[in-house]
Amino acid sequence: MTQEFDVSYDVVVVGGGGSGLSCAVQAAGHGLSVAVLEKMPQLGGSSAFAEGHAAFESDEQIKRGIDVTKDEAFRAYMDYSHWHADSAIVSRFVDNAATTIVKMRELGAVYEEVIVTAEDQPGELVTWHIPHGEVAHVLELMEAKARELGVEIYLETPAKEILTDGGRVIGVVATDSDGEEVRIGAKAVVVGTGGYAKNPAMLDKFSAWDCGAQMINVGGEGNEGDGLQMMFDVGAKEWSSIGTLLLFPIMRGKTVTSHTNAAGFQPYFWVNRDGKRCTNEICGLNFGQAGDIVANLPGSFFWTVIDQTQVDHLVNDGCEVGLGIYVRTGEKLVNLPAELEADIEAGIVFRGDTVEALAEQIGVDPAVLAAEVDEYNGMCRAGKDTRFYKQKYLLPVENGPFYAIKMEPGIMITMGGIKIDENMQVIDTSGAPIPGLYSVGCDAGGLFGDSYILTVPGSANGFALTSGWLAADHVAAQLKQPATV
């Protein structure tokens, strides 16, 4: 069946985040004609919020004396996922992530440090490559290179449908910035739309949680799952761990740089909506695990209860755990007193001169909260947590005034939507690649099991940048093959 197109390209990339731009630059470098369709008014997606990306045996690690081998990384991904991750996808990423560092540096990126996210987190590998200006600057460099190579970038132009003919992808239908439908021909379509973190219905459908509408999205506003749905519509198969989410505790209405928010995820004393201590707070060293905890609690929130001594400690000595490089581990939370006052005035933090008065402020039984505090303080004084077996950070809650900070589930990204092969080709429900269709970044499945691996920091963005250029390489190789009749 002959289809009429308004314009045609060798490659159409759906989504202008890290994976899409990486693909576009690489494809254009192969001499292919490329268009990028981005639904938002700006490029970047969730990659714009990333600080760095993972790599293994990179020259940046080697020159700093950091030894993280590829086999060590492969085992880390597989073991963390209980071998639910796709070995072929993990291997392809691990083997090529260091090349991504070189490619980004050739565009002008300067890597200032290679670090971990939490120094006290057991087993964390030193894989987080932090470029000057963070990944946001890398995106700027990729965009500049893409434009230099002739890539046509269309903003406010969401793709609506993937077109096929005889089982092969031949283009997309999109809506341009004037609201007009446009039909775009393509020999290959690469989908990198960032997942579905902004789609509560999909979050509830695919994930283990039922609080999709409550989740606070801190990633790309365009991550509504439309790319996934377009691929499903042409027969794409779901990856078995499609519901994998990167969650973390966050205060509603605050940013990731907030010092009150940072105080809220310290591994001190957390109680659920009934005022009862709910977990070993040491999980806060891995904010992804802490995110799973908060999503699974009744009402999907916890209260962090701290006293004035802990406030003073956070200001004068520094925090036990940070949030990436937005709040560094050990950073002195010097803004905390002023923020607390403003947040109390705004009604999002509560203060009481006694534990019982604080309990009334947050709507829990004063006797219950007082009993929980007394038990916890006794364990702190004894130096042994006999309830949840926390071995560190046993700081009593005893010197008023007392503060309660409400922490809810934040979501950075979803991972694992579509089943792909090691060439980033989308697999259909029969197990075969869909000719001409690729999935990259957070739309693609295979790197993770049921949760994000924070012990290999930078994994999601590393995979986004790497999967993008790997897909482009395969597209170029396929298009250079002689046509068969």
| Domain CATH number, residue 342 | 3.90.700.10
pLDDT confidence band for 457 (50 / 70 / 90) = very high
Same domain, 376 and 441: no
Same domain, 217 and 285: no
Closest CA to 251 of 413, 50, 403, 409: 409
Say which CATH number the domain at 88 has.
Answer: 3.50.50.60
Same domain, 316 and 422: no
Mean pLDDT rounded to a whole number for the chain: 95
| pLDDT over threshold 70, residue 372 | yes
Same domain, 320 and 197: no
Tell which of 410, 439, 455 closes a domain: 410
Q: Compute the half-sphere exposure of residue 224: CA atoms within 13 Å on the CB side of its CA.
A: 9
Same domain, 152 and 205: yes
Closest CA to 195 of 443, 457, 6: 443
Tell which of 359, 391, 410 closes a domain: 410
pLDDT by residue (tens digit) across 36-53? 999 999 999 999 999 999
Same domain, 149 and 290: no
φ/ψ bin of 378: left (φ > 0), alpha (ψ from -120 to 50), beta (otherwise): alpha
Same domain, 151 and 291: no
Entry pTM: 0.94
Same domain, 400 and 444: no
The verdict on residue 45 lying in a domain is yes
> What does the pLDDT read at residue 325?
81
> What does the pLDDT read at residue 484?
52
> What does the pLDDT read at residue 377?
98
> What does the pLDDT read at residue 438?
98
pLDDT by residue (tens digit) across 125-171? 999 999 999 999 999 999 999 999 999 999 999 999 999 999 999 99
The verdict on residue 152 lying in a domain is yes
Tell which of 410, 426, 452 closes a domain: 410
Same domain, 370 and 440: no
The verdict on residue 198 lying in a domain is yes
User: Residue with structure tokens 């008014």?
Assistant: 41
Expressed as residue numbers, the domain containing 358 is 249-410
Same domain, 355 and 465: no
The verdict on residue 116 lying in a domain is yes
| pLDDT over threshold 60, residue 483 | no
pLDDT by residue (tens digit) across 67-83? 999 999 999 999 999 99
The verdict on residue 118 lying in a domain is yes
**Contact by Cβ (8 Å): 124, 454:** yes
Burial class, 186, CB count within 10 angstroms (exposed 0-12 / middle 13-18 / buried 19+): buried
Closest CA to 47 of 467, 462, 473, 469: 462
Same domain, 431 and 399: no
pLDDT confidence band for 286 (50 / 70 / 90) = confident
The verdict on residue 81 lying in a domain is yes
Domain count, the chain: 2
The verdict on residue 2 lying in a domain is no
CA 329, 332, 334, 340 dihedral sign is positive
The verdict on residue 397 lying in a domain is yes
**CA-based Rg of the chain, rounded to a whole angstrom?**
24
Same domain, 21 and 112: yes
